[in-house]
Amino acid sequence: MNDLIRLTATEAVARLRRGEISPLELIDAAADRIAAVDPAVNALPTLCLDRARDAAKRLDRSSEGEAGWLAGLPLSIKDLTDVAGVRTTYGSPIFRDHVPAMSHPLVKRIERKGGIVLAKSNTPEFGAGGSTFNEVFGRTRNPWNTALTCGGSTGGGAVSVATGEVWLAHGTDHGGSLRRPGTYCSVVGLRPSPGRVTRGTSNNLFSPLSVHGPMARNIPDLALFLDTMAGFCPTDPLTYDAPAVSYVDAVNGARPPKRVAWSPNYGGALSVDRETRDICEKAAYRFQDMGCIVEEFHPDLGALEDAFMVLRSQHFVVDRELQLQAHRDLIKPDIIWNTEKGLAQTPSQLAWAERERAAFFRRVAAMFETYDIFITPSAATPAFDVNLRNPEMVDGQNLTNYMGASMLNAAMTLASAAAVAVPAGFDRFGRPVGLQIAAPTRGEAAALGAAALFEQLTGFDKLLPIDPRAGVVPPPG
């Protein structure tokens, strides 16, 4: 493995700034690594190496010195997000040959801050699903065991950083799409608070459900990439200015939280695999090693699972109703089901779901008056068969739909919390398990700081990058 690939993003950027290495050297190292490992995992189906080299040669240094300056670091952009002149399919046969003329506002921001777009990462069709596959590019496999899924929907991004194909990966998150792939691939993924990072061209501009965010191999790198992304954008009405203190500085100066709330499964309200609960409980109580008070606490979910599906389905109506009318035969069943569920809903159902969301937000806000952070498992079950679109069951309970294993993540989505997934260990079959560390809305610095201190205790980030490993699907149960 090329030594440059082994560098963290933070180390690589520091060396770029000092002129010890060049962006072109990193592009060549990444291209060699992609050629070596991507046939086994299918994380980056679309490369733009010539565009990347051209960008490196004319790197605009006007943002040098700003928080989040990447100085020519190569990275991946999720294939839901437009990059000018680069094939962008959204994982859909409808857009199989789509090449946008203009980049998404976030891509423009990343490039202005010295990021070099090297490739597009694979995603489920329109980002809908907890396993990364589509009819355009096929399936993306988990590098820890290529018989398993990498999760979704930022699956290609998670694999691209875990294997050392790139140093940072962009992604999106609605019901866990940065957090579950992060967990399944033993990397870190952050769902920022709504408005922290621009969504730019979305039709759901006034909805707080879906956000863009960063993925990396460790928390300091994640903080660096969040600094690149964060800030006001005139094309997104929910955005606001970046904080006065950078996330890199916040992580470097992090102090342990005083009080930590831990919940394995919301007091039994959610199904979580037993071994996952056991691993995560031991990991959560490691905060006591930092002098933290750790207490088990379960916010009342109420009817939040039903409310989430109502609100998510309405989100699908905004995004997919017109496509469903024009291209129904090219859209996968899960998206059709979710959109038609939304079309059948009544105004009273939508109003009820909004009231449920507001009530849950108030309960979580009250919890954060006592506790600094809230910890749960970051996935209800470890990675499952790559050929399945979702796990068949969790802790002995059959799932009723493709989002059935997502409520640990979706709850924090509905609470508008800042939530980061961080590796916490491995199960008896060697599958990664992780914690979700959440802080109040706009509390990214607190979530990242706590995750960074936990990461220093475990050292799991030192296991990356890895070469893809062949394996078999573990037996259920």
HEC-encoded secondary structure of 390-428: CCCEECCEECCCCCCCCHHHHHHHHCCCEEEEEEEEECC
In degrees and rounded to multiples of 5, residue 358 shows phi and psi of -60, -40
144: Cβ–Cβ under 8 A, 6 or more apart, which residues? 162, 185, 186, 383, 430, 431, 432, 466, 469, 471
Structure tokens that stand for 144 in this block: 């820890």
Annotated active-site residue in 76, 103, 121, 153: 153
Q: What is the dihedral sign for C-alpha 102, 105, 111, 117?
A: negative
Annotated active-site residue in 76, 78, 131, 263: 78
Three-state DSSP state, 169: strand
Strands annotated E in 242-335: 259-262, 293-296
**CA distance between the termini of the chain:** 36
* 462 belongs to the catalytic site: no
Annotated active-site residue in 177, 202, 207, 406: 177
* 153 belongs to the catalytic site: yes
Q: What is the DSSP string of 200-258?
A: TT-TTTT-SS-EEEEEESSHHHHHHHHHHHBS--TT-TT--PPPSS-HHHHHHT----S
| Alpha-carbon span 456 to 459, nearest angstrom | 6
* Dihedral class, residue 18 (left if φ above 0, else alpha if ψ from -120 to 50, else beta): alpha
351: Cβ–Cβ under 8 A, 6 or more apart, which residues? none
* 113 belongs to the catalytic site: no
In degrees and rounded to multiples of 5, residue 356 shows phi and psi of -65, -45
Residue 100 burial by CB count (10 A; 0-12/13-18/19+): exposed, middle or buried? Answer: middle
**Chain position carrying tokens 């300056």:** 69
Would you name the residues annotated as active-site residues?
78, 153, 177
